[in-house]
Structure 1
Amino acid sequence: METPLPTTSKLLTEEDFGFAKFWFYPNFLVGEFADGADVSKEDSIGPITSIKRVYGATIPFIYISNRKNSYSMDPMGYKEIVDMFPNLMGMAIVSENKYRRMIATLEKMFIKKPIGVFHELDEAFEWATQNIQQLDK
């Protein structure tokens, strides 16, 4: 999993959990899961700990899910994880796959945060940057 990250923001850290890799920036986080991963709530402990360490409970951030691989995750567990972060300001979902983008539109029914769905990672970065900048106004 070597995703090119088209951004001018400074990379704070990157972490590889085997089943997923995460890139942390000042106000956004990019996650990419390994092909075929079956992610449980227990698997999420490592990434949750890292997110809390980097952003705490007050630094606003947007999560960018780069869905270039096929993986599975319990959707109810997913909502529980999202609810753990009051400073999560929105999500961007990136996929070239039409089916994965359709699933992303269903996620909007469960997650009460702004969600953008994109074909390209750079579009998601632009959307995330605009949304974070709106918070500063």
Structure 2
Amino acid sequence: MKFENSIYFNQLKHSKLVFPFGKFYLFDNFIISELHEGVHFDWEKIQEVSYELIAHYGNNIKIGYISNRINSYSIDPHLWSTFNKEFGFIVASAVVIHDDFGYMNATLEKQFTENSLKRCSSLEEAIHWIQNLDEFKT
């Protein structure tokens, strides 16, 4: 289910970034991404999004990341390591999986990230998990 079609769209305060390759919904301490079908989410795109997020949240950004995989796309899982060295502002990630192939991809990505990565079966599960991370409790 797309974020815009969920009950959370009207319940949670957010802003939206739109790129030619997908949409990103920005909340106080996490983001939701929805990439377009067939996109290869490469380093150039990751940098483009990261710079926009830093501009929005500031240089001391620490956020959770929810990948709502409503479409099939590709990413080189090694880029997680590069991202952590270059930016490192994601404290934990959740992947909303809608099929077995997506589960296998998320399992592979989990091997390449230093941060916690949770595979979720719904957007609700992912949002609840991200909002209750110890890193965001004050």
Q: How far apart in 2 are the matches of 1:63 and 1:6?
A: 19
Letter of the aligned partner of 1:33 in structure 2? L
Residue 127 (structure 2) aligns with: 125
Q: How far apart in 2 are the matches of 1:27 and 1:69?
A: 24
Q: How far apart in 2 are the matches of 1:82 and 1:20?
A: 21
Residue 10 (structure 1) aligns with: 13
Aligned-residue offset at 1:6: 4.0
**8 Å contact 1:61–1:90 — kept in the other structure?**
yes
**TM-score of the two chains, using structure 1 as the length reference:** 0.85
**TM-score of the two chains, using structure 2 as the length reference:** 0.85
Alignment length, in residue pairs?
Answer: 135
Aligned-residue offset at 1:47: 0.7
Taking the TM superposition and a 5 Å limit, the aligned residue runs for 1:1-137 are: 3-4=3-4, 5-7=6-8, 8-11=11-14, 13-131=15-133, 134-137=135-138
CA-atom RMSD in angstroms: 2.1
Percent identity between the aligned chains? 29
1:88-116 CA distance string (max 9 Å, x none): 21000001111211221221211011111
Q: How far apart in 2 are the matches of 1:14 and 1:46?
A: 15
Q: How far apart in 2 are the matches of 1:88 and 1:6?
A: 25
Structure 2 unaligned segments of length 5 or more: list them: none
Are residues 46 and 97 of structure 1, via their aligned partners in 2, closer, same or farther at CA, if it must alter by over 3 Å? same
